[in-house]
Structure 1
């Protein structure tokens, strides 16, 4: 039988009926009878001792598999412990020659259905997974109908259908750059990691930055339900469903590597210059042309007349491309004690790179969130910056940090630990899985493949790819199914705990604003 995702066997099941009967009757009796009495006593004593060690767990009987994560502790049956046999690691080779010949996706990857409950557990999910419940709450009571999904089509770039673990794509409009390509690639990797473990589903995906499903149109309790539309970010005025962005599998247009590789480089980059030896200023480098708020930020740059403690640089991606991206290496930008995060036209993928540096993230008040940023706590993971008074706010934050060095270092370290530990690629895939799994369970109809849809698989995407695009795909390729189940989802917030959580965050921001006000009052008195 199975218990908590592990295979539990009774003595009968473990040994078979014949062996079980012999054990009960005394499987050792023929052997003992052939020994002299002293020798038999010694042999029987050894058996008892070994049995006791196995029962108590003193004797380590579980197998250890290379890689560490596959090592399993003995499982108690109530009478003695049976070591769980780890699932054999499977790797699925690419079949480009087969695909190029037939132009059809291989089938052998999907022969064996998977199920999360048959795999060993992998622990609890990070707390920000709780927002999955909130993002799907608009459909929790009614479920999701075909009509709701169809109403999401006007702005969608593509429709994706997943049936029996296989993906089918219908493209409506090509996305900017390769956003759609690497989003779809990421979903395929998740399907390889957890084959045939998702219920059937279909979704509409919009690759444009700004959320569009306005909440105030669907406020009536018994009114029309909003269309479920997936995208990379949301805000408090919309019901768009937030999904990990394309850059986790690479962003060829700006030479940003897949997250699993880049995360390791960022970790090493943090070590190059200790926090105390870094430049004691706030650093930002990016494209100011995409938003007025960024253009306003550039006014805080150091000049002959004023030093707001900021060192700000405009990024020319065209020149960077021509010069081989020598000045945009993210792992080499952990050189200042403070780094500014500011949104672009909406949220920015740069947030995770900035938070990873051990520097104190000076986070200009955001209007948008992505899938993980709702797990960040002000004054613990970042320092809040006013949007309407950026320069003075940055000046205060840097002066405060330079006079409270240990507290500042703790904030920077908490952020980089969050990124390294709670945003590793395992959790990106698990977030995708749990979001789509919870979404699919709301369906009130059986999804089907449209007439214009084509099957999508890793071969159909990578075998014809070229250059950096193919390189990033190969570097982010999931080799085979996971040996563990997805992490365990945390429960949803109840209304009171959610409000308390939001109030606590707001209180921390207000506390900083109060400190900042006092600081400037004192500065004005000095002048």
Structure 2
């Protein structure tokens, strides 16, 4: 009727086994930067709790089903709900969802993260209850502004979200270089671009969504305003209306300005194909020559005064791509190797085409430009599709913030640990592992 009480001999044996097991765990996990005090393994209950929060968020905000994304009203709204984000940008999350699916069977461990050294230009950070903390930063002068811009953009996406305290806690590393090295077996890293084979790279929005001072491009929202003013017109300071530039009144030329050095194999072929063509305004810029910059640099918004815009990749992605797609012009590009967040929305053929793709060697460029010049109604339709798809949807500041939060959630969904913000060292002292972003920003 009653269970037999265990003897003292069995109790003693159990105690010894427990002590041995505890000692093994303590010593076995005190490796790799004192890992035992820096993470907590996720439990099924913690995972289900996180899922319940996501479900609550997903059904908020859109109560009657009548909401639709409108760029004029919602484009600058960094705090759209999760459901609004999914409704407005169904093609935006393809790459990050792919990265998450690849890790469903082999989740990311703390040891995986620790195996990637924080090299020059890289940042290691924690998000805890929607607050951003900087754990480690390896500054590199060339990309220092990128680090600040990226962190500012991520921070903005967090603080604008009403449910920020319910966002999952994560620890991650990102690079401010043009691309991330992705040797087989290396740990995850966030980067501005990736190739299809870069399985450990998680795609994040690039620094230009904040600003790009090195090439004299200011805040992204201001660049978009200047671009829209050229295409749609604007009201001047004295109250008079300045009309926009009609598509058919744009210069019937293909424009490109850039350096050959970053991708000579592709860019030299563009130059060769466009050489001596009346419709070509293609020039190389020497970024080390101030006079050359002064005479040849074209403000990014003035690209929109041309009917055709050439796009080429550089060392990896080309940061100008998203600016060109904001224009009511026809973007012409070679097949892209490096992925960006908005690329799933690119359409190169059919009635919904929003850009034109040419061969890698640009051999068919003259034929396609001639066709578009001879068929202006088709060219104008492609340009209008680009505005509708990108300027007024997938490249809005609202879309960027939606992407950041989706990245946080999807990355968290395949972590097998919860980061610990306060760590206990071997001498028993408790200290914060990270610096609050607001403080870090004032120090860097």
TM-score, normalised to structure 2's length? 0.70
Distance 1:300 1:120, change over 3 A: closer
1:326 deviates by 9.7
Distance 1:115 1:333 in 2: 31
Q: Does residue 408 of structure 1 match 2:372?
A: no
Residues 282-339 of structure 1 show CA distances to partners (whole Å, capped at 9, x for unaligned) of: 1111222222122332223443xxx274220223445569988994321122222111
Distance 1:377 1:441, change over 3 A: same
For the pair shown, the structure with the greater C-alpha radius of gyration is 1
Distance 1:432 1:291, change over 3 A: same
- CA RMSD of superposed structures (Å): 3.3
Gaps of 5+ in 1: 9-56, 58-66, 70-88, 90-113, 219-225, 466-527
Q: What is residue 169 of structure 2 aligned with on the other side?
A: 200
Provide the secondary structure at the position in 1 that maps to 2:165.
coil
Distance 1:68 1:347 in 2: 30
Q: Does residue 142 of structure 1 match 2:106?
A: yes
1:414-493 matches, within 5 Å, as 414-422=385-393, 423-449=395-421, 453-458=433-438, 460-461=440-441, 463=442
1:430 deviates by 0.6
Distance 1:152 1:335, change over 3 A: same
TM-score, normalised to structure 1's length? 0.60
Q: What is residue 310 of structure 1 aligned with on the other side?
A: 280
Contact 2:193 2:340 in 1 (8 A): yes
Distance 1:198 1:332 in 2: 40
Contact 1:242 1:370 in 2 (8 A): yes
Residues 144-184 of structure 1 show CA distances to partners (whole Å, capped at 9, x for unaligned) of: 21112122336571111112222221335224331111111
1:394 maps to which of 347, 352, 365: 365
Gaps of 5+ in 2: 1-55, 65-71, 233-243, 424-430
Distance 1:406 1:413 in 2: 10
1:186 maps to which of 135, 153, 167: 153
Distance 2:396 2:337 in 1: 25
1:125-164 matches, within 5 Å, as 125-153=89-117, 155=119, 157-164=122-129
1:102-501 matches, within 5 Å, as 123-153=87-117, 155=119, 157-175=122-140, 176-177=142-143, 178-194=145-161, 195-214=164-183, 217=184, 227-239=187-199, 240-271=201-232, 272-292=244-264, 293-303=266-276, 307=277, 309-318=279-288, 327-379=297-349, 380-388=353-361, 390=362, 392-422=363-393, 423-449=395-421, 453-458=433-438, 460-461=440-441, 463=442
Provide the secondary structure at the position in 2 that maps to 1:300.
helix
Contact 1:289 1:295 in 2 (8 A): no
